[in-house]
A and B are shown apart, each in its own frame.
Chain A
Amino acid sequence: MKTSTKTNLVLDIVIFTAFLVIANPALTGNTIHEWLSVSFGAAIVTHLLFHWEWLVNVTVNFFKNLFNQSRLNYVVDTLFFVAMMAALMSGMMISKDVMSFLGIQLDVSRSWKTIHNLASDSSVILLGIHFALHWKWVVTNISRYIVDPIRGMIKPRVQRPLVAISVRVQKEK
Chain B
Amino acid sequence: MKTILRILVILFVVVTVSGGVYALVESTSLVSSIEAERGAPSQMIGADAQSLPNHPEGGNDHDASLSHGISQVFVTLAKLTAITLVILFFQKGIDLLKKMKLKVVQR
Contacts and interface: CB of A to CB of B under 8 A. Distances in A.
Interface of A: 1, 20-21, 23-30, 32-33, 41, 45, 48-49, 52, 81-82, 85-86, 88-90, 93-94, 96, 100, 103-115, 124-125, 127-129, 131-133, 135
18 contacts: A20-B76, A20-B77, A24-B69, A24-B73, A26-B72, A30-B62, A89-B18, A89-B22, A103-B48, A104-B47, A105-B44, A105-B47, A107-B43, A108-B42, A125-B83, A129-B83, A131-B80, A132-B87
B10 interface: yes
B55 A135 contact: no
A116 B60 CA distance: 16
Contacts of B64: 26-29, 32
B45 A108 contact: no
B56 to A, nearest CB: 5
Contact of A52 (B6, B63, B79): B6
Contacts of A106: 42-45
A24 B80 contact: no
Interface string B1-18: 001001100110010011
A135 B43 contact: no
**Which of B11, B21, B69, B77 has the most A CB atoms < 10 Å from its CB?**
B21
Interface in B29-48: 30-32, 34-35, 40, 42-48
A100 B17 CA distance: 24
Contacts of A93: 42
B97 interface: no
A21 B74 CA distance: 11
Interface of B: 3, 6-7, 10-11, 14, 17-18, 21-22, 25, 30-32, 34-35, 40, 42-49, 52-53, 55-57, 60-66, 68-70, 72-73, 76-77, 79-80, 82-84, 86-88, 91
Given A29-B62, A105-B44, A129-B87, A1 B73 contact: no
B72 A27 contact: yes
Contacts of A129: 83, 87
Given A108-B42, A128-B80, A85 B18 contact: yes
Given A25-B62, A49-B7, A103-B46, A127 B80 contact: yes
Given A45-B10, A107-B45, 18 more contacts: A1-B3, A21-B73, A24-B69, A26-B63, A30-B61, A30-B62, A52-B6, A88-B18, A94-B56, A103-B48, A105-B46, A106-B42, A109-B34, A109-B35, A110-B57, A111-B31, A124-B79, A135-B84
